Structure formats: C-alpha cells, structure tokens
Amino acid sequence: MKLSMRWFGASDPVTLPDIAQVPGVDGIVSGLYDLPAGEVWTHESLGSVKQQIEDGGFRFEVIESIPVHEQIKLGTPERNRYIDNYCESLSAAGEAGIPVVCYNFMPIFDWTRTNLAEQLPDGSTALSYRHADVASIDPLAGDTDLPGWAAAYTKEELRELFDAYKPVDESALWDNLAYFLERVIPAAESAGVKMGIHPDDPPWSIFGLPRIITDKDALQRVINLVDSPANGLTFCTGSLGANPKNNLPQMVRQFGEQGRIHFAHCRNIQIKEYRTFHESPHPQGSLDLYGVMKAYFEVGFHGAMRSDHGRMIWNDKGLPGYGLYDRALGSVYLSGLWEGIARENGRIPTRELAHV
C-alpha cells in the first residue's frame, strides 16, 4: 500500500513540510477546494497543485473529491451539463497524471457529525455523532451548524433542495447513480483514471434523505452497475464501521479480490450506543484495524491509504479531524501493522515499507 495523507492546499494549517516528517508517508491526497460543485477542473489548476505537492517531495495520489452536483443526484434535465463538466474534470485529472478520483453520492449533506470537539477522558477532543441529536433537529430552521453541511446554502436554498428531494427515494437515487456512472466511467477509462465512491457517512438516512452506499450489498451493486476496472470504491472503515453489522475484513477481501478498492481510509471509532459514536485513536476503538490491514495484505492491495480523521491532541492546529499529530500517530500505527503482517508472512520489510 501507499501511505498517504490529506492536504487541503496552501491554506491548510498542516503544511507539506509538516507531513514530510511523518515516517512512511510519501503520497498526498488533495483537490481544488475553492471551486463550487459542477465547475470544470482544469489541467492547469490541477497541475499547479500537483507541482506544489511534488516540490514538497510527494506524489499526488488521489483527488478527494470532485463533488457531484445536486442536479445529478436529483436526476433533473440539467444533470447532463454537469455530467459533461465532470467528464472534462476527469480528463484533466488524467492529463495531470493523477490516478484516482474519490467522490460520494450523498444528497445535500456530506459527512455529518453532531460535535466537532467532544472532550474525551484523556483530554483530547474528537469528532462525534449522536443520532438522537440529529433526529431532534429541523434542518430548515437554520439554527444548527453541523459539519458536512454546505454553508453556501441559504435557508431558502435548503428548503428548495429538500422540496426537490421529496420524490427521490432510494430506488430513484440508485437510478440516478447508474445514469451518472454509465456516462462518467467511459470518460475515466479514456483518461486512465480510476473512480472510488466513498460510503455514506454515517451509513444511514438523515433528515429523511435517502442514503444508499451503506453496506456490502450496496458496494457490490455499485461495482455491478458498470463493470469496469475504473469503477471502484473508496473503502472507509470509519464510515462503514459505524454500523456494527458491516464485517470490515470480510468486505476488504471481497472487494480487494475483485481489484475494486482504489483508495483506502483507515480510522477507528468508539461505538457508544445505537447510532452514537466518537472517533478514537487508531489502536483503540470498536473496529478491528489489524484484521482490516491483514485482509488488505492478503489481497495484495497496492493503492493509496490514508489514516483519515484524528483527534486533536497536544494543542494541535488544523481543520476538524485533520490536525497533524494524531493522524501522524495513525499513519505510523498502520505502517507498524503492515510490517508485522509482512513479517508473519515471511516478507522482510525494507525502507520502502509502505510499498511492501
């Protein structure tokens, strides 16, 4: 695997020189974070980011993410224009030599938490989610600031979007995803780019909106929609693991053996009660990361992997979940697991451990 870390560009409090001090990390996951959904990403813009990354001594491994416009998810006649733009962006990614594009298909809201800084017993803070809090919120009241919400939406725009989604159930959302993939996967193939859909986070409906990328059957269904090596997954342990019914090592084996895991997010969470969890140190939590890494090793995974969200520790600075220190600890933990598994299997790691 190729150990990587997310970087949000020049405005990120965590700099490339900071990341360069994390052992084993030589890949960067990034994107164009100043463009609205639906805009074309150009080769020039991506090339500029890539140059910064390479000047820092890294490879630009994954774009995370090129947002999918709501009109595509809604299935309106306007979607074709945005799909054409998306295909152009994929072509630009291929031209820039960036091999993987991550995306999601969550209506209106991206990943959602109810607390950006829950105090943990050790004094650190972490992202957390409590479904009872979400269930008590009226998203149209305008009195909440949950992360993952598109801050650019006014209350009226949110109301219009919710009204537009009223006829869109899970079946319709699947149809709209199929329509999208049938058009963008050929463009990805032509560009030499692999696409990886990110699971819904959390993997259940919020505010009555459909969420469909939630479990093993859903991930297999995505793959089956367009049978192409370019159509694959961003396998996120924290998102899928929020549902204890999801057997993560088994899922890694199933999709890894098919060669359809194009990008890996590895983080841990502590499940406290039904649909309630907080993010935890990588070695501690409810998820079997050893079993996950063993499955990755056994299927011969060679893609990019990042340690994903971390706690805020030691007076760290950074975007919520994206400080330096705990993500660095997570990266080293994943490297250690990989080395141990390699040695168990008679492989002698070298300095190029991340690529064993």
Query: What would the pLDDT profile of 271-313 be if each residue is shown by its tens digit?
Result: 999 999 999 999 999 999 999 999 999 999 999 999 999 999 9
- For residue 40, the tally of other CB atoms under 10 A from its CB is 15
Angle at 209 between CA 208 and CA 212, to 5 degrees: 125
Residue numbers annotated as active site: 198, 236, 265, 308-309, 322
Query: What would the pLDDT profile of 141-197 be if each residue is shown by its tens digit?
Result: 765 555 545 455 777 888 899 999 999 999 999 999 999 999 999 999 999 999 999
Query: What would the pLDDT profile of 195-215 be if each residue is shown by its tens digit?
Result: 999 999 999 999 999 999 999
Mean pLDDT of all residues in the chain? 93
Q: 3-state class of 119 per DSSP?
A: strand
Mean pLDDT of all residues in 78-98 = 98
Q: How confident is the model at residue 349 (pLDDT cuts 50, 70, 90)?
A: low
pLDDT score recorded for residue 355: 45
More confidently predicted of 250 and 350: 250
Two structure tokens written together for 340: 């141990």
C-alpha distances out from residue 131 to 52, 135, 267, 349, Å = 40, 6, 20, 43
Query: What would the pLDDT profile of 261-274 be if each residue is shown by its tens digit?
Result: 999 999 999 999 99
Interhelix angle for 248-257 vs 289-298, to 10°? Answer: 20
Cβ atoms of 299 and 305 closer than 8 Å: no
Q: How far apart are the first and last CA of the chain?
A: 7
- 307 Cβ neighbours under 8 A, 6+ residues apart: 5, 266, 267, 282, 327, 328, 330, 331, 333, 334
Domains of the chain with bracketed CATH: 2-355 (3.20.20.150)
Q: 3-state class of 170 per DSSP?
A: helix
Query: What would the pLDDT profile of 312-333 be if each residue is shown by its tens digit?
Result: 999 999 999 999 999 999 999 9
Give the span between the Cα atoms of 86 and 69, in whole angstroms.
9
Q: What is the pTM of this model?
A: 0.94
